[in-house]
Chains A and B, each alone.
Chain A
Amino acid sequence: MTNRELIIKIFSESLKISSSKVIDTLEYNTISEWDSLGHMSIIANIEKTFDIMMDTDDIIDMSTFGKAKEILNNKYNVQF
């Protein structure tokens, strides 16, 4: 499974939404499933899957699916 497939799977499974809904513009707090608890579930799964530990500022900044990929790519060397 590629990193792109993995990150979509993480969002889909953490938020319990269809993978087709996981697009770059998907935004925190714009769907009921992506609330603060859902957000921390995403973080836990990202950290476990990619074997990293994110900074708190990055967790807060991860406001869209696209932004999440950007942060992971730029700061944690997870390529998509």
Chain B
Amino acid sequence: MFNFNNKVVLITGSTRGIGWTTAKHFAEFGATVLINGANNKKNLDSCVKKLKDNYNINSTGYLFDVSDYEAVKNAYKQIYADYKKLDVLVNNAGVLYGSLIGMLEQEKINRMLDINLKGSIYNLQFASRLMSRNKSGSIINIGSIIGLKGSLGQSAYSSSKAGLIGLTNSAAKELAPNNIRVNALAPGMINTEMAKEGMNSEKIDQRISEIGLGRFGEPEEVAQVICFLASSLASYITGQTIGVDGSWQV
């Protein structure tokens, strides 16, 4: 379906969920896959080994917290030292803490904005500089339908994801002269641990009843769109936010 031979792809937050599934998709299509986790070296190494063993590709794990500016900078220096280029960045790392506004703790507000939004800006900044050298690249920000439409109990989360849409729109304009495309995805309810955290079966059924296609999306269905946006098939698409939500009426 896609050909990512000789392409170097970095996916932040890629040891589980949508990130990990996306890493496997890129690996399937021949990419050199750089994966990232914030603090579990053993898990990161295990993911790298699985990619190498199962797909016979080149892969490296980079342990850094996306919200730590210096750590991000050093990671990109290392990526440049290791691979001399970066073709695709998937800004996927994110956290979600649901809480009504009146009970939302400052620490959780900061953490969501730091990781979901500021971390994405940091990565986009350094990635675009590597990409500018070759006047080529694709950046995909993983937003959320919640960032577009809002949801009860997710004010801070939706703020962070709405910020990603703004980042996408502005960066697409700024980086277009360097042939760097920037797009965003707005997934709906996807069948991941993070999305289902704290939801009982009644809540899950309620969510499903709100979704036109009558089911949660699978991580693979998000990964496919990410691969499409990263590929040459999407060569004239930039500054767009694509919903992957099965017609969820939030």
Contact = CB atoms under 8 A, between A and B. Distances in A.
Interface of A: 37, 40-41, 43-45, 47-48, 53, 55-56
Contacts of B76: 53
Interface string B137-154: 000000000000000000
B73 A55 contact: yes
A43 B129 contact: yes
| Interface size range on B against A | 10 to 19
B129 A37 contact: no
A47 B126 CA distance: 12
Interface in B56-83: 73, 76-77, 80
A40 B132 contact: yes
Interface in B118-133: 125, 129-130, 132-133
Contacts of A47: 129, 133
B178 interface: yes
A37 B73 contact: no
A57 to B, nearest CB: 11
The majority secondary structure among interface residues of chain A is helix
12 contacts: A40-B132, A41-B132, A41-B178, A44-B129, A44-B132, A44-B133, A44-B178, A45-B133, A47-B129, A47-B133, A56-B73, A56-B125
A40 B133 CA distance: 10
Contact of A48 (B125, B133, B177): B133
A53 B77 contact: yes
Contacts of B133: 44-45, 47-48
Interface string B162-194: 000000000000100110000000000000000
A8 B132 CA distance: 19
Contacts of A55: 73
A20 to B, nearest CB: 26
A43 B178 CA distance: 13
Contacts of A41: 132, 178
Contacts of A37: 174, 177
B128 to A, nearest CB: 9
B126 to A, nearest CB: 8
Interface in B86-131: 125, 129-130
